Amino acid sequence: MTEVSMCSSTGGGELTPEEERVLIRDIAISAEANSKEGDTFYLITQRWWQHWIEYVNQDQPNITIDGSSLLEHGDLVGSSKRPASINNSDLIYDATSEDLHVGIEIHDSLLEGRDYVLLPQEVWNQLHSWYGGGPTLARKVISSGLSQTELAVEVYPLRLQLLVTPKGDHSTIRISKKETIGELHRRACEIFYLNSEQVCIWDYYGHRKHALMHDMDKTLDDANIQMDQDILVEVLNNGNGGLSASKGASRSCSAELSQGQNLTSPAGEVDNTYGVSGVSTRGSSSGLTGLHNLGNTCFMNSAIQCLVHTPEFAKYFREDYHQEINLQNPLGMVGELAIAFGELLRKLWAPGRTAVPPRQFKAKLARFAPQFSGYNQHDSQELLAFLLDGLHEDLNRVKHKPYIKSRDADGRPDEEVADEYWANHIARNDSIIVDVCQGQYKSTLVCPVCNKVSVTFDPFMYLSLPLQSTTTRSITVTVFSCDGSTTPFACTVTVPKQGRCRDLIHALSNSCSLKNNEELKLAEVQNHVFQRFLEDPLISLSTIKDDDHLAAYKIPKSVKKTLVLRLIHRRQERETNDSQTASRWKPYGIPLLSSISCDDVITRGDIQTVVHKMLSPLLRAESLRQADIADSNTLVVASDACHDSSPGEACSDPISDSIRNSSSKGSSSSKALASLKLPLQLVDENNACIDLSVGEEKAIRLSSSATSIIVYVDWSQELLEKYDTHYLENLPEVLKYGPVNKKARTEPLSLYTCLEAFLREEPLVPEDMWYCPQCKERRQASKKLDLWRLPEVLVIHLKRFSYSRSMKHKLETFVNFPIHDLDLTSYVANKNSTRRQLYELYALTNHYGGMGSGHYTAHIKLLDENRWYNFDDSHISPISEDEVKTAAAYVLFYRRVKSDGAISNGGKPSEGHHSSQI
């Protein structure tokens, strides 16, 4: 259920962006302080909202309203221009509903914060008065929660199908679940022009009469009416086409119940009499019963529903399981957890669909697992792990566990060792949980010193698959332009994790808008000099580490012969040796790269010109206004660069006409050039330094085989006052830590890729070092996992949450998981099994939102109906398989497909499993 949250925002006609922001903030705060049941909130598309947020915060990007950053609503889009009119078209269906009683229908799968934002009525009114647009999507605030004291916006009112018998008319309506049965009765009569005294309405779930709805003061929520279900509108004494002028007809349909009258339903089926014995009870065989949220217990409800709808567990706990309760197991809970779970399961499968409050079960849970006490949000998978382990110990058929010492493999066949390990495990652990959920994997450890190989076979209850090992990685590179057109800027691109250097250059070329007449030179910078040039397009990107520093240089393509000019920055640093202090020029900053044509003679002045052009974006505007700078030909590169640079760059201020034209007032060109002479030193082939600040016409002698030249620029204090060199001081690392961008969040990741990352060989972390029996010491060995024995029900946990410095973060990576035919044949190391290892998805838990305000739901496939349902605490609604595919999956439940077919295609999953997009 959507929480009522204050989203302060708005935009304005003649007001400034700042005035709009402040006004909407004040309106929102006031509305929040006075919010109550019955208030109206309005949906507004997240896309427009984000644009407005950027607009009103363009001068203060980190502004906060109502205690939270406006930028938390997502990646800002568009520019800082004033938004156009409000356009909610992406929230609604294109086609207008044929039924006037439904109104404008919004998409069924919208999420707050992702697709829309809820605005209080006062905020919406102000926004709409400024911007106009629409359509208007109003929703009411209702009471919710176990105590009915929480406020929530009912974004999705009940959508009900009204079916009239015997006429056969039908209509769809939207109505709040907090409306009364009397209001539903009134609206049904109004829609079909019926006499209210001759109409009865029935809870008509599954085209079977479940209950007569005669308590007119009862709410639809209390009557357990669900989304998209049918309501039977029954007309009695319909001798006049369903209308009757008889005022004496009984209003109470209950009087008709004793007459044994049979009526034909719109579906063409003949119901039994209206007596209680003839009413079909919803949920008697389908298990469509919800769990009340006792206060942030959605994490528990979602996990329970998945276990309850595991067929093997449903059958086991509905029969007499008490004889298997182990009262002697010191690791168990004296059977109390198993009994509490069994009783809860029976209630959920019992006839009737009234939601069950799991208070007794939660009390037992808190008693044996205090970490889940209280009413804070917890991790659904952590609860599931505790519950499976606790149920196993409570139901362990082994009353006295024997002591068994495991033996080393000692070169024995894997099959023999695996069977021995499994037999030893079963001798101590034998329960319904082991029968259904436990498998076995092969663990291979290799000592890095003596190469000792140790093989063990360990049981598992579920697989925790990492999401960090994606197929792509982000690389940050600082881009420099040698023609003086722009200041340096950092560029982050996404490349294949196992890609080549050409992939990185291609991504950078697209990202930095490389022109057709330009190319990129990529280099690694270390200690202020070039460490290496990444010129080979086949260099693996795995050689680039996260803490490396990369720079890319835009240089012109040339058909002529060119040299690469490497410009190294130096500054004076004092050194003290043997009580003597001396100053030396040492490299600092980020080196630059450019090209220089060598078809003609290269002079010292040519190099001065090239370096001037490279440094021109860094030239301070004040330095251009000095009286002795007069030669416009010398300054044209710097001035043009300043004129063309974007706002916020070092050279953003244009040079005034008076300065630009000062050369016409008698100043000589030689004087202007001399004032900007750079202290450049060229290192020749003999390692001798040539001063390039004198003798500009002198030619530089280079061997015919030379491909590059190295030039040092010595930054004196006087020169530093002319140039803003902060752009050259820091080079970000390849991995730029920070929030995951939207593209990375939405990039699909195959479930098979996650499994391969889990199984691949990796070194153990230092705290998990392994004791090598041959070295007689603890070693940080490498570890390789292989699946060996698969369970009947395979539980897969997607590790969406990561920890750093005691903080918990969520990975929003979208995982592409198969619903049908999860093929694990190629991942099973035990080749004695000749059947394919195929699994079918039947349940999953989902996690939506962030850490503090997240919400868990469950998607369950009822096998007898072959239909998927969404279990959202006490609310259950049918969903399509496509909706399951796009779920925010957290824990997946797969059942083995019973098939003895031969392995085809070598047992390898088809490419479609790996690359199909959901």
pLDDT digits (tens, 9 = 90+) for 713-766: 998 888 888 888 888 888 888 875 444 444 444 457 889 988 988 888 776 766
- Distance, in Å, from the CA atom of 844 to the CA atom of 567, rounded to the nearest integer, reads 58
- Distance, in Å, from the CA atom of 803 to the CA atom of 105, rounded to the nearest integer, reads 41
With CA atoms as reference, report the closest residue to 759 among 787, 785, 791, 731: 785
Q: Is the pLDDT confidence value at 859 over 80?
A: yes
Q: Half-sphere exposure of residue 498, counting CA atoms within 13 Å on the CB side?
A: 3
| Three-state secondary structure of 645-693 | CCCCCCCCCCCCHHHHCHHHHCCCHHHHHHHCCCCEEEECCCCCEEECC
What pLDDT is recorded for position 276?
A: 27
**CA angle (356 as vertex; 351, 359 as ends), nearest 5:** 140
Q: Half-sphere exposure of residue 82, counting CA atoms within 13 Å on the CB side?
A: 15
With CA atoms as reference, report the closest residue to 392 among 446, 432, 348, 426: 432
Cβ contacts of 686 within 8 Å, gap of 6 or more? none
Mean pLDDT of all residues in 60-64 = 45
Mean pLDDT of all residues in 400-418 = 86
User: What would the two tokens of residue 690 be?
Assistant: 């040539």
Most confident region among 127-136, 370-379, 739-748, 801-810 by mean pLDDT? 127-136
The answer to whether the CB of 592 falls within 8 A of the CB of 567 is yes
What pLDDT is recorded for position 792?
A: 95
Sign of the alpha-carbon torsion through 195, 196, 202, 203:
positive
Task: Give the residue, 169 or 805, on which the prediction is more confident.
Answer: 169
What does the longest C-alpha to C-alpha distance in the chain come to?
120
Give 231-269 as a DSSP string: EEEEESS-TTTT----TTS-S-GGGGGGGT---B-TTSP
- Distance, in Å, from the CA atom of 579 to the CA atom of 66, rounded to the nearest integer, reads 61
- Distance, in Å, from the CA atom of 294 to the CA atom of 69, rounded to the nearest integer, reads 30
The mean-pLDDT minimum among 184-188, 235-239, 303-307, 362-366 falls in 235-239
With CA atoms as reference, report the closest residue to 386 among 332, 325, 334, 349: 332
Mean pLDDT of all residues in 870-897 = 93
What pLDDT is recorded for position 144?
A: 67
- Distance, in Å, from the CA atom of 3 to the CA atom of 277, rounded to the nearest integer, reads 41
- DSSP lists the bridge partners of residue 162 as 171, 231
DSSP H/E element including 380: helix 380-394
What pLDDT is recorded for position 270?
A: 30
DSSP H/E element including 42: strand 40-45
What pLDDT is recorded for position 312?
A: 95
Q: Is the pLDDT confidence value at 267 over 60?
A: no
DSSP H/E element including 845: strand 838-848
Q: Is the pLDDT confidence value at 443 over 50?
A: yes
Q: Is the pLDDT confidence value at 448 over 70?
A: yes
Task: Give the residue, 276 or 900, on which the prediction is more confident.
Answer: 900
What pLDDT is recorded for position 378?
A: 87
φ/ψ of 551, rounded to 5, equals -135, 140
User: Please, which pLDDT band fits residue 539 given cuts at 50, 70 and 90?
Assistant: confident
CA 571 to chain centre: 46
Task: Give the residue, 168 or 890, on which the prediction is more confident.
Answer: 890
Residue 854 vs residues 113, 622, 858: alpha-carbon distances, Å: 11, 53, 14
Please count the residues of the chain. Answer: 918
Active site (catalytic) residues = 298, 855
What pLDDT is recorded for position 552?
A: 93
Q: Is the pLDDT confidence value at 658 over 60?
A: no
Mean pLDDT of all residues in 660-664 = 35
Kindly tell me the burial class for residue 647, based on how many C-beta atoms sit within 10 Å of its own C-beta (0-12, 13-18, 19 or more): exposed
First-last CA distance in the chain:
26
- Distance, in Å, from the CA atom of 42 to the CA atom of 127, rounded to the nearest integer, reads 11
- DSSP lists the bridge partners of residue 44 as 117
Q: Which residue type is seen at 628?
A: D
What pLDDT is recorded for position 899?
A: 60
The mean-pLDDT minimum among 174-183, 249-258, 456-465, 578-587 falls in 249-258
What pLDDT is recorded for position 344?
A: 93
The answer to whether the CB of 489 falls within 8 A of the CB of 602 is no
- Distance, in Å, from the CA atom of 528 to the CA atom of 241, rounded to the nearest integer, reads 92
Task: Give the residue, 614 or 858, on which the prediction is more confident.
Answer: 858
User: What would the two tokens of residue 399 be?
Assistant: 């009353």
What pLDDT is recorded for position 578?
A: 64
What pLDDT is recorded for position 434?
A: 96
User: Please, which pLDDT band fits residue 819 given cuts at 50, 70 and 90?
Assistant: very high
Give 174-192 as a DSSP string: EE-TTSBHHHHHHHHHHHH
Residues of the chain with pLDDT > 70, as a percent, come to 76
What pLDDT is recorded for position 80?
A: 67
| Bond prior to 763 in cis (omega within 30° of 0) | no
Q: Is the pLDDT confidence value at 75 over 50?
A: no
Task: Give the residue, 901 or 716, on which the prediction is more confident.
Answer: 716
Residue 61 vs residues 20, 53, 80, 649: alpha-carbon distances, Å: 15, 9, 11, 18
Most confident region among 325-329, 641-645, 861-865, 907-911 by mean pLDDT? 325-329
| Bond prior to 166 in cis (omega within 30° of 0) | yes
What pLDDT is recorded for position 808?
A: 59
User: Please, which pLDDT band fits residue 95 given cuts at 50, 70 and 90?
Assistant: low
Sign of the alpha-carbon torsion through 50, 55, 61, 64:
negative
SS3 label, residue 407: coil
SS3 label, residue 699: strand
* Overall pTM surpassing 0.75 (yes/no): no
The answer to whether the CB of 305 falls within 8 A of the CB of 871 is yes
Q: Which residue type is seen at 752?
A: Y
φ/ψ of 896, rounded to 5, equals -65, 135
Average pLDDT, the chain: 77
What pLDDT is recorded for position 662?
A: 35
Angle between helices 46-56 and 17-33 (to 10 degrees): 120
- Distance, in Å, from the CA atom of 440 to the CA atom of 420, rounded to the nearest integer, reads 12
- DSSP lists the bridge partners of residue 446 as 453, 782
What confidence tens digit (pLDDT) does each residue in 9-20 have? 444 447 888 888
Cβ contacts of 381 within 8 Å, gap of 6 or more? 303, 464, 797, 845, 890, 891
